[in-house]
Structure 1
């Protein structure tokens, strides 16, 4: 057994895999510079500057070359390291940070490849070290299923504009028909910070009610089971969501905010909170938050919702405020604040197959059991 440990370390060289990630992301970033109208999101371009993107690309290229070369010299995962060095080299040959482009024109549709590249880079930069040193469970970033979850992360970010179109189409008509002038006026008279707090409560209540329906309505559960199929919990696991669930959940959550007339600033602030807290709630962080666990949804709270445990199948549906679960009668945490789930995933593992494509087809194959299922 002791003899197998060195080889296991070789297979999981941090330098090699970091170089591969940075090299591939750098190559995708260069593609964004070449085809900004098609590959970058208009909404997200407003968040960062061209200079910032070029500096970030330079840092990624430099790190990919350095880490990849070190891994090769140390004879660690040379093939993986070569992917990083090779991708970075191709990115440089295609222009690197010197790619020039004219003013970005208007296109009816575009992919959010820039959103994927920047979001994955910074998420990994923040959460991989945090989970390494503060993790509740000893878990490698390259744990089983990580490729599937990166695929989900890619899909949800790259297709962000198309998802928004579907969400907008499903909510705008209903929101337009609803008319609550007095209530709208009262909400809009509040300062933005008060609107934001109220929006968090309203949206979380709508989300929690739908979330409970996912668990109790069989045809909805087939879509939501994909999310619960993760057998390890970390910052990336929360990305595993069926596209139908993404559209349905975002529509249901956005609808009351539009109907009640919350200001765009309050809604945008809420959207930012959703992105941050969704990642945090799934993260492998064993930090003891004490009384704050009863105020905000934090990792241990949401981990118990994902527990493969018969006593926790119908609890902890909120994603922001435990108060929502308290009002619904679905709040539950173990008496000891040091207790964490021992196992995660759906109760019947054989009902969810491995892989992004098979998992997207699974809800339409009612009652099927799979030989190659999540483990």
Structure 2
């Protein structure tokens, strides 16, 4: 082993140290840095215990990497940020009752989501990955930045989405239909909501691929050359707002109950990560019932005959109805991922966000 080889322990220490520092800042400034809606999901004791675990692991893993002489600078970053978190109060930070503020960031949502997503999918991909690749594969920092943006700005995204969907929904009121839907059991509403939302999302998704100015935003998502649990986070901010609003609109117009909508939100979060994951499992007949990794990986394939297929994110049935279903029966996987001309999409989150607005630049091809 050479000292220059990337060390898992060093990078995990740096990640956990940074998340621990972010967690301490959430305790210091809860009104500004934590999401009101997400605070209802967890308790203060849970947050403190999670912070303690992050601090301990950051110190232990960082110290181990330093003693082994592996990525010492990265390991020192982990130990250093964890030390700063402790100096700022660690798990003992006290705060008064959290007041209401018109706007706040979702830093707590980012910390908890990244911690548990990495905890679940990194070991899964290591054990069951179709392609042997490090979690620190090329452009992983870009995708972490996208993950950060979409989670920290969650309240602003919801405000933008709610602003235009609620206005349209008010104009398209169907009281009798809403009453009929809400009279159904929650499980039945949930299944209907999944189908309606997926049909709306797949229709918009196809528009992203076939309308040039929309494709310039969506090309950012398809620019990733490596598929894993983190790759699905690479989405332009404009696309996030458009997609979430377009998917939420039919659910609001048709009047599904909050319980059914909340269940759908949980499903879409889980399935979006799973569909992009580097998992080489074969699911047999389930691949024709649910959108699973191989199905969605073919949508990201860098092959001309797969640029206009597999738009659904939940149900292959939606693609079958749209005539866009395509899945090799031999169980094969794509050999390459990304847009046909990778050079047309710049590297880095800021340049990728500016790309759709720059006239005269080479337009990305599907």
Q: What's 1:363 paired with? A: 356
Matches within 5 A, 1:20-35: 20-35=14-29
Paired residue for 1:37? 31
2:303 is matched with 309
Deviations 1:26-57 (A, max 9, x none): 00000000000000000000000000000000
Shift of 1:322: 0.2
Q: Across the two proteins, how many residue pairs are aligned to each other?
A: 364
1:300 aligns with 2:294: yes
> Partners of 1:92 and 1:196 in 2: how far apart?
44
Pairing partner for 2:339 from 324, 342, 346: 346
Q: Which residue of 2 aligns with 1:90?
A: 84
The corresponding residue for 1:81 is 75
Contact 1:351–1:367 under 8 Å retained in 2: no
1:158 paired to 2:152:
yes
Q: CA deviation at 1:180?
A: 1.5
What are the superposed Cα offsets for residues 349-372 of structure 1, whole Å, 9 maximum, x if unpaired? 1210000000000001245149xx
Aligned to 1:115: 109
**TM-score for both structures, normalised by structure 2:** 0.98
* 1:181 to partner: Cα distance: 2.0
Instruction: Tell me, yes or no, if structure 1 residue 125 matches structure 2 residue 94.
Output: no
2:216 aligned residue:
222
Q: Which runs of 4+ in 1 moved over 4 A?
A: none
Worse-superposed segment, 247-256 or 172-181: 172-181
SS of 2:224's equivalent?
Answer: coil
Equivalent position of 1:277 in the other structure: 271
Instruction: Map 1:60-209 to 2 at 5 A.
Output: 60-209=54-203
Render the CA deviation track for 1:307-349: whole Å, top value 9, x for unaligned.
Answer: 0001101000000000000000000011201x00000000111
| Structure 1 residue 185: Cα displacement | 1.6
In structure 2, C-alpha distance between the alignment counterparts of 1:115 and 1:30, rounded to whole Å: 14
Task: State the match for 1:3 in structure 2.
Answer: none
Deviation of 1:149 (Å): 0.3
- For residue 12 of structure 1, report the CA deviation from its aligned partner: 1.2
Q: Distance in 2 between matches of 1:364 and 1:23?
A: 36
Alpha-carbon distance in 1 for matches of 2:290, 2:6: 35
Give the Cα separation in 2 of the matches to 1:299 and 1:256. Answer: 26
Structure 1 portions without partners, runs of 5+: 1-5
Report the Cα distance in structure 1 between the residues aligned to 2:276 and 2:334, rounded to whole angstroms.
Answer: 13
CA distance in 2, matches of 1:298, 1:316: 11
Deviations 1:39-88 (A, max 9, x none): 00000000000000000000000000000000000001000000000000
Distance 1:14 1:248 in 2: 37
Match of residue 260, structure 1, among 244, 254, 259: 254
Q: In the alignment, which residue of structure 2 is the partner of 1:328? A: 322
Give secondary structure in 2 for the equivalent of 1:163. Answer: helix
Cα distance in 1 for residues equivalent to 2:28 and 2:99: 13
CA distance in 2, matches of 1:240, 1:168: 22
Shift of 1:111: 0.2
